[in-house]
Structure 1
Amino acid sequence: MLPFAQGQLAWPDGPVLFLRARDGAALRQFPLSRLLCEQSFRPDAEELQRAGLETIAEASPADSATRYPLVLVLPPRQREEARALLARAVRLASPGGVVVASMTNNEGARSGEADLKQLAGLAGTLTKFHCRAFWTRPLDEGIDNGLLEKWSALDAPRRIEGERFLSRPGVFAWNRIDPASALLVEHLPADIAGHGADLGAGYGYLSTELLARCPKITALDLYEAEARALELAKANLSESTSTAIREFLWHDVTRGLPKRYDFIVSNPPFHTQSRADRPDIGQRFIGVAAEALKTGGRLWLVANRHLPYEQTLNESFGEVRVAGERDGFKVIAAVKARR
């Protein structure tokens, strides 16, 4: 927001679109009644909503008639996803509109600036607070349309792992089966039964394997904070032949669960979207799982071996054991005891 605060850019009278929006005090300097925030990550979306900002998981597609005189964008770290997002920002800008992007220096700001310059040309750049802001000239001529078409398709869903799963850049372990999740699947017993949940379901690998291996499952709820991943999970589980009822919930697990379960599986996140270590997130997943499980309910969890989860597990469950270890990962099986 600094280029606007310093007068290098003017805040428009018309609508403003903010892609990958996050709330912040700097926004409060400007009229926000016509600001539309797009945020597919549930915790950030809820923060925007609590601030009274209009927030949606996905804005109008780039081929719609809706255009904006100003498009703000916070590109992600993943390069293909970031390039596709910059291309969409350019497509959603009105003729004569401006795209303004910002990234932290340690998450690829220099590369992001070079990408936007290559795509549409730059009118300015500003570096401060270990971040870089960069913006286009008013968009009319100068857009590389060939590059625009190419980059627009970079984060499109595609088949991975021998066509088994649909995935896309930017979601967790997007182009492979995560080795920790694969280890967890190896240790899941076939007698898992009843109504269960997958916490942090991603594109649906764990849930797909659960339904294939455990025929006594009657219902399975998938909780995922990233809407882009949840849509992939819906597509991947639509191919399952299991008769289990499935529900897909765009939800921040750390805020608790609305139901009670016979079993829970999870490969919980242990870092933020910027890759900073946050073992407290995984600890909160464990606490929430304990709250949501019925007495005698089972938790199957996989984690990096070094993560400090044992104390939380021992405080929350009556029985805890390490079911398997490999390549720096550990599978933990826990049973909820009576109080």
Structure 2
Amino acid sequence: MSNPSMNRSSNALTPVGGASAALTLRDPWALVPSLGNLDAYISAVNRLPLLTQEEEGALARRLRADGDLRAAGQLVLSHLRLVVSISRQYLGYGLPQGDLIQEGNVGLMKAVKRFDPDQGVRLVSYAMHWIKAEIHEYILKNWRMVKVATTKAQRKLFFNLRSMKQSLKSDAVDADTHRATLTQREVDDVASTLNVKREDVLEMETRLSGGDVALEPQDDGGEESYAPIAYLADSRHEPTQVLESQHRDWLAGDGISRALEVLDARSRRIVEERWLKVNDDNSGGKTLHELAADYGVSAERIRQIEAAAMKKMRKALAEVAAA
């Protein structure tokens, strides 16, 4: 005796649902819009027909035995509304619901691939774990640039601590109900409930309470804009900075020595006395008038000799750099 909820005329299994079911048979994804807004998608998946337990089991067996992708498509389609429902539980993390649904659909497809109908469990119960696992992974990767949860205990805290804090605060009767941090007793309660260490609770509380800071300026304030990118970068090892530093060191050492070699004795002594020596009172080198008195000439003559010497030194340094 044939099952009235099944149609085998085309050697395929068709869920009950009238025109929607027939359309699903011909093209399992026809009812799900490829473009449009999120509301249109949610409305479409809510119109998709559900499967009975017998239909679900038959489709799953066809998938496992023959690798029938049409059967897999019907199993996925009939549970898309489950993904939408689960995604609503994670809207508080500030991530787009469309992205949450997309990741949940990946988990649903993984569940369909591994589902064994002979275990006596409905796909809706089996798929919930896979859907949540994919959404959890997506949230942990995208909630912040820096990961806030890596170990199993940290993941458990990440997805439970905020809701538990709200519950603890709502139960509080003292005047300090709106405090932001947990008390020692509340930390102990959370650790005991989730079976984690007190230190893990405190660490996750600190991570969740800290905000993100943009590396780049977020406004057009011009010179007033100041972001971490301005002071976090270490330019000491930047290649151009390294080369410039090496060049300055060379100029201060070997470069000056080579440049002085092209000068005559008087010009060299004038440059050294003016720029390379320091007086006992740390007031710098000799003045033009002091050197003029030493050489018995005018200060203007000393300035001319100094200018000519500097010109020769710059030319010598340029030739070395070009070599």
- Specify the TM-score bucket, using the shorter chain as the normaliser: under 0.3
Greater C-alpha radius of gyration: 2
Structure with the bigger percentage of strand: 1
TM-score normalised to the size of structure 2?
0.24
TM-score normalised to the size of structure 1?
0.23
